[in-house]
Amino acid sequence: MKVAVIVFPGSNCDADCLHVVNRVFGVEAKAVWHKESSLEGFDFVILPGGFSYGDYLRCGAIAKFSPIMKEVVRFASQGKPVLGICNGFQVLVESGLLPGVLMRNKGLRFICDTVNLRLASNRCLFTQKAYVGSVFSMPIAHMEGNYFIDDNGLQSLQDNEQIVFQYANATGQVTPEANPNGSLLNIAGICNQQGNVLGMMPHPERVCEELLGGLAGKFLFESILS
């Protein structure tokens, strides 16, 4: 297996993703600059966190025009796995690979914290190694993580089990108090209808080693890399 980590101007979590795939899992991963136009030979694509193009205009709105994104869309259409983390989630939404929008956090403040996530669906490629209802502790660091979609879109997400992660308390209860950013239904991550594209605001790559605070994110990578 070979993994592509897409690098935009302003990406700052690309090195983290490369480290996890290369060093923790021992799988070949390569940084792919956003001006490239081919993903030939790659089996899995990661869009990392950061501030693509400085988050000017709107998070992910400029990155969607990068040459590599046409290839990412084509790659995803073939059923191959694509993971967007934080800013990567925003890019996936802006590029139309995932529905909805990500708005400014309620309170209009950047949030850097650790949250609890309840696994709401394990039908996507990234969550098949975990049970629905499982609770995972992961870090977040974002300004625009407030997920919103209209009523018809929300109904579609629910009908197709596309809501993958929800902010919850330590016992897995999805409560208003556990919602850090005002996200609709406490949504922290969603997948496409096919289940091969996952976008999430929390950072699983930051919890793949005990030394760095835990192993809660390993199952996401294991589901694909194994």
Query: 124, 57, 52, 56: which is closest to 91 by C-alpha?
Result: 52
Q: Work out the pLDDT band at 57, boundaries 50, 70, 90.
A: confident
- Tell me what pLDDT residue 109 has: 95
How far is C-alpha 45 from the chain's CA centre?
A: 11
3-state secondary structure of 214: strand
- Is the pLDDT reported for residue 212 higher than 90? no
Residue partners of 135: CB distance under 8 A and separation at least 6: 116, 117, 118, 119, 168, 170, 171, 172
Question: Quick one: residue 185, left, alpha or beta (phi over 0 = left, psi -120 to 50 = alpha)?
Answer: left
Can you give the pTM of this predicted structure?
A: 0.97
pLDDT digits (tens, 9 = 90+) for 89-132: 999 999 999 999 999 999 999 999 999 999 999 999 999 989 99
Range of the domain at 101: 2-225
- Is the pLDDT reported for residue 41 higher than 80? yes
Residue partners of 222: CB distance under 8 A and separation at least 6: 25, 129
Q: What percent of the chain has pLDDT over 90?
A: 96
CATH number, domain with residue 155: 3.40.50.880
129-155: average pLDDT: 97
57-85: average pLDDT: 96
- Tell me what pLDDT residue 215 has: 96
Distance (Å, rounded) from C-alpha 25 to C-alpha 23?
6
HSE-up (13 A, CA, CB side) for residue 41: 6
Q: What percent of the chain has pLDDT over 70?
A: 100
Query: Rounded mean pLDDT of the chain?
Result: 97
Distance (Å, rounded) from C-alpha 166 to C-alpha 172?
9
- Is the pLDDT reported for residue 213 higher than 90? no
- Tell me what pLDDT residue 226 has: 77
3-state secondary structure of 179: coil
55-67: average pLDDT: 93
Give catalytic residues, as residue numbers. Answer: 86, 203, 205
HSE-up (13 A, CA, CB side) for residue 172: 9
32-37: average pLDDT: 97
Q: What are phi and psi of 215, to 5 degrees?
A: -125, 20
Cα–Cα separations (whole angstroms), residue 124 to 71, 139, 163, 170, 189: 21, 21, 10, 23, 11
When divided into structural domains, the chain yields a total of 1
- Is the pLDDT reported for residue 225 higher than 80? yes
Percentages of the chain per state (helix, strand, coil), in multiples of 5: 30, 25, 45
pLDDT digits (tens, 9 = 90+) for 170-211: 999 999 999 999 999 999 999 999 999 999 999 999 999 999
Q: Which residues pair with 197 in a beta bridge?
A: 82
